[in-house]
Structure 1
Amino acid sequence: MNEVQLAAVLTAAVAGVASLPHCFVMCGPLAAVGCGAGPTALRRGATYVVGRLVGYAAVGALLGQYGGQLLHRVANAHVNVVAASLVVAVCLYHAASRLREAWRQRAAPANDDKLVSLTLAKSVAPGAAANDSGRWFGSDFAKFITALLPRTPLGLGLVTAILPCSALFGAWVLAAASAHPTVGALSMFAFAVASSPALLLAVFGRTAVSRLGVRMPAVVAAAGWLAVALLLVGRLWLTQGGAPCH
């Protein structure tokens, strides 16, 4: 690696540090809700970060290899729409599940003690979400479709590499300008590492609130899922007619 390539990687790392507040506000809610609370939240947060690092490095390698031509395709609004729509679908699915739970609580006042916190510890545990989706949608086809969605922390981390994001677009440009797959991957990896503390802070904050014993009714949990979905929809709306940004 020559001095110019090393400078590109360091620049990406600095850009990641500069993006910490941005990432906390824009992707922090997704990370917090996606990783949930409870004793496994921090481990799930680490899994989310690993998925994010892998996704960023993979996209960086492709951009470094194919340069501007691929950058144009990755930054294309249709790619962003597909990626963000998958995450929005997950949010709406869990919001519907929480609303169903709220309806059950209302129908059975004796079970008012079954309030749930805003958490994915159960809903995205291996096999749990698939079983719940089968009960909710009631068809094997629906279970197959929901299995394709990025419902796990690892899947959510991977898909963030192509979500609409102005800070991420800058990292894409650096990777494409490197004209080398290894340097492109390292640039994106450095950006992801430098910006990850903001997302881990969001997960830690969510876990800390849960440990304080703050519990929410299912309807509030549903509102949290809907808020994240609306945030992503807003990001998509802002990307129309120009470079990805928010």
Structure 2
Amino acid sequence: MDDKDQRAYINNNQCVLGAETGPQSIVVRQIIGERERQKVLDIEVVVPDPKPSIEQIVDVFVKDVEVCNVEVITDKVIVRGEFEIKAIYVAALPDQPVHAVEIRHFRFTQDIEIPGARRGMDADASVIVEFVDYDTDEDDCGCKKHHHHHHRDERHHHYDCDDDCNDYSDCDNDDNDNCNDHHHHHHYFRDFMVSVVLKITAKVMADREVMLGGGGYTLPSTPKG
């Protein structure tokens, strides 16, 4: 068959396939809904016994943030994940070495409402860190305050700043046992609070059947299957 005969054959047979088969359908992935939520966490970090106490915190940061599981239920998505907290601090030792303390695999769970979500649908989620801060719970005089306990903490031997140690200059008085105790602890501590704000985004997807042909396509109102 020469080129002229081949072109004639193609022209005579074009569009025959569409006329014989009629409208076709394909399955496409469609987003049912997408929303985001903030997760606010206040986490206590405690220096383990083998490590020295803290004189000054250098930096606190969150790392290795990841989503571990996404589950779809009726009109809602449950997102589970984890991250690590690492703090760099100057140790309360004569040579002031730098140490680090970590919390590994700190888990979080967040539910996000997505109308139309149903069990069996596919879902995806992502998480980013929006804010990180820490609080050593100390005032200007260096006294460690207790916002929730206004009495002596027998474990750490700290005193509330509203007591006899309110005036830092009194701590040089050897006759005042409370102030001596306060003077010993006001710079050194073994625990602090870290505030973490996460932004979690989740979306739900479903397969839908789209009809092609007949001058256009139609989108069914219900997912396939």
TM over 0.5: no
Normalised to the residue count of structure 1, the TM-score between the two structures is: 0.19
Q: Could you say which structure has the higher strand fraction?
A: 2
Normalised to the residue count of structure 2, the TM-score between the two structures is: 0.21
User: Higher relative CO (CA 8 A, sep ≥ 6), structure 1 or 2?
Assistant: 1
